[in-house]
């Protein structure tokens, strides 16, 4: 977070202070998701979080400092989830299929959308000086895919002709676009089609005959971890699932 915003460093707060700050951020993320950045004001946030105006200003003296903290919170959730062992560090096609299966198998995915993507769509309409932080969050998310594809190349699982950076962008774009279209259609099919098509394209670079065939049932069932993940509940409610 930028030092010029005046926001309190969470690491220097007491336990009680950290809990209050986290509660404010939880409700701020929810309000921004449902109302947008411009329509979210201090009074609404103060009432939702159960804090005084002086408390709110103590932790977040400006709207920019609040939005920066929301971005950091949402991004941390996204990156932590994608860096988990659940997807075997994305070093195989099965890892990417498991990732797609997770979202396809979550019954409310088409309703909740991606909270980080939704936040981005709101922020780009404002003049808040937070665009770099948001871009960095997506860059780190894309890098997780890129690094996984690079490991696949190092392990000889896909051809060295594959471009990890471009494929990573494709996968992230398929997720973001598929999620939006699924919300509009109120149906998971657009997200399912987008993810499976992107992974099918990645699969064309496979060097092993076993990897050139889509695994039976891929995308049709969520893997064992497929319930709603605790570490995704950034805001504890609607709009938080896909925000890892």
**Mean pLDDT, residues 108-119:** 78
**% of the chain at pLDDT higher than 70:** 79
Report the C-alpha gap between 109 and 146 in whole angstroms. Answer: 24
Report the C-alpha gap between 99 and 226 in whole angstroms. Answer: 10
Name the one residue in this structure whose structure tokens are 């003296």: 61
Report the C-alpha gap between 178 and 130 in whole angstroms. Answer: 25
Give me the DSSP letters along 140-180: HHHHHHHHHHHHHHHTTSB-TTS-HHHHHHHHHHHHHHHHH
Tell me the whole-structure pTM to 2 decimals: 0.78
- Longest Cα–Cα distance of the chain, Å, equals 64
> What confidence tens digit (pLDDT) does each residue in 53-108 have?
999 999 999 989 999 999 999 999 999 999 988 888 899 999 999 999 999 987 66
């Amino acid at each position: 977070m930028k030092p010029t915003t005046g926001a309190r460093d969470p690491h220097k707060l007491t336990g009680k202070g950290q809990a209050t700050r986290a509660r404010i951020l939880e409700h701020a993320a929810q309000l921004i998701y449902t109302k947008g950045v411009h329509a979210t004001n201090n009074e609404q946030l103060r009432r939702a979080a159960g804090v005084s105006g002086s408390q709110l200003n103590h932790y977040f003296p400006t709207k920019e400092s609040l939005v920066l903290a929301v971005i950091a919170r949402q991004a941390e959730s996204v990156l932590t989830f994608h860096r988990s062992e659940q997807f075997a560090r994305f070093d195989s096609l099965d890892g990417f299929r498991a990732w797609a299966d997770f979202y396809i198998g979550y019954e409310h995915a088409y309703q909740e959308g991606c909270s980080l993507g939704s936040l981005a769509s709101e922020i780009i309409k404002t003049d808040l000086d937070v665009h770099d932080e948001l871009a960095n969050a997506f860059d780190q998310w894309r890098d997780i895919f890129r690094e996984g594809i690079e490991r696949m190349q190092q392990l000889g699982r896909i051809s060295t002709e594959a471009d990890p950076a471009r494929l990573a962008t494709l996968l992230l774009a398929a997720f973001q676009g598929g999620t939006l279209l699924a919300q509009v259609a109120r149906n998971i099919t657009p997200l399912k089609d987008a993810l499976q098509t992107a992974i099918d394209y990645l699969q064309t670079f496979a060097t092993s005959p076993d990897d050139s065939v889509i695994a039976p049932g891929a995308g049709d069932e969520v893997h064992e971890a497929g319930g709603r993940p605790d570490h995704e509940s950034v805001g504890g409610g609607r709009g938080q699932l896909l925000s890892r």
